[in-house]
Structure 1
Amino acid sequence: MNPVTVAISVEDPSWTQALSDAEPVAERMALAALEQADCDLGDGPVEISLVLADDTTVQGLNRDWRGKDKPTNVLSFATLDDEDAPRVAGAPLLLGDVILAFGTCRDEAQAMGKPLVDHFRHLVVHGVLHLLGYDHEEDEAEALEMERLETAILAGFGVADPYGADESDIAEGGR
């Protein structure tokens, strides 16, 4: 696997108040998603940014970039989506940013009767897979492949299938 840097910024202290190990958990989940995804990232270093934010920040980003003026659980901004993005020889491949909204994630976990840490694990994996080009909005087969991969990664951490029969719309744009 490529050398990976996971840059984590805690913008809302509610994350670490609710999950004292939020940063190492986020890093482990991001690395697991990178390791198990079927993507050719070359052999150089890779960097991902994870931002643990609040609902207001995510709502602003969702409004400005997606035209949806409401908070959401996770947003992914993939650098690989921009085919014209410059690549600098020897510099890390910047995969992009994953931003999570604390209040929305907490409320969803509570509504589903799940531990916040399990929902958090799922959404980090989900966001990182988006950075790698996985999608669930356009094609049913791609959506099923993304769900299968998420479920397999999470199972390795003892987390139940997030797409179980009672949970039809966990991640933004979920099925």
Structure 2
Amino acid sequence: MSDGRSPGAARTGPRILLSVEDDAWGSLLSRPVDDLVREAIFAAANAAGLSPDVETEVSVTLSDDEDVRALNAEWRGKDKPTNILSFPMAALQPGDPPGPMLGDLILARQTLAREAEGEGKSADDHFRHLLVHGVLHLLGHDHESDEDADAMEALEIAILAGLGIADPYADAPGAPDDRS
């Protein structure tokens, strides 16, 4: 996936490298994957203070529960699938400028679909929420302490409101990729 710019056009966010490893993603989402990815990532990057002309890129891989479970077991010691994994290229603090590669986001289709259905959300909205959440992690935000969690959730809620998505924390405790 390119970032949608024509040569010489102003940059509007990070360059996005999209890999769809599970073809069923296309039938889960009602809008084109490229559009949803770009919309969420640009909104998160902008709201987190990343200058639109910073030369950085983010890799987004749309996978399945099996692959994400294996990665989650290897890198986090949790032998179960999760909705999204974020792998920052560098340990940033919020507001730090990223290097040329911001990091990788990997999403599990079946987990995302189960969560969206269970929470009465559209898959598109939950997908964009998880991407926003993941980008904030890549940019140094976390939810390890209650204070950090509150700040990250407030930023997520504001970004999502700008995308026309209701507050995902209004009825459900915990962050999208679980605080445990």
Shared topology, TM-score over 0.5? yes
Indicate which of 109, 133, 149 corresponds to 2:116: 109
Alignment-derived partner of residue 23 in structure 1: 34
* 2:84 matches 1:70: no
Task: Give CA-to-partner distance per residue, 1:121-155, whole Å, 9 cap, x none.
Answer: 10000001000000002x21111110011000110
Instruction: Kindly report structure 1 stretches of 4+ aligned residues shifted beyond 3 Å.
Output: 41-44
AA matched with 2:136 = L
Q: Give me the whole-angstrom Cα distance separating, in 1, the residues matched to 2:41 and 2:176.
A: 16
Inter-CA distance 136–26: structure 2 relative to 1 (3 Å threshold):
same
Q: Structure 1 unaligned runs (5+)?
A: 83-91
Identity %: 46
Inter-CA distance 114–168: structure 2 relative to 1 (3 Å threshold):
same
Task: Give CA-to-partner distance per residue, 1:38-61, whole Å, 9 cap, x none.
Answer: 45x796411000111100010010
Q: Give me the whole-angstrom Cα distance separating, in 1, the residues matched to 2:172 and 2:146.
A: 17
AA matched with 2:37 = A
Secondary structure of 1:80's partner?
coil
Q: Give me the whole-angstrom Cα distance separating, in 1, the residues matched to 2:34 and 2:114.
A: 20
CA contact (8 A) 1:7 1:48 kept: yes
Alpha-carbon RMSD across the aligned residues, in angstroms, is 2.0
Alignment-derived partner of residue 143 in structure 1: 149
* 2:62 matches 1:56: no
CA contact (8 A) 2:13 2:45 kept: no
Q: Structure 2 unaligned runs (5+)?
A: 1-10, 93-98
Q: Give me the whole-angstrom Cα distance separating, in 2, the residues matched to 1:81 and 1:167.
A: 29
The number of residues matched between the two structures is: 163
Q: Give me the whole-angstrom Cα distance separating, in 1, the residues matched to 2:107 and 2:126.
A: 11
AA matched with 1:142 = D
CA contact (8 A) 1:2 1:45 kept: no
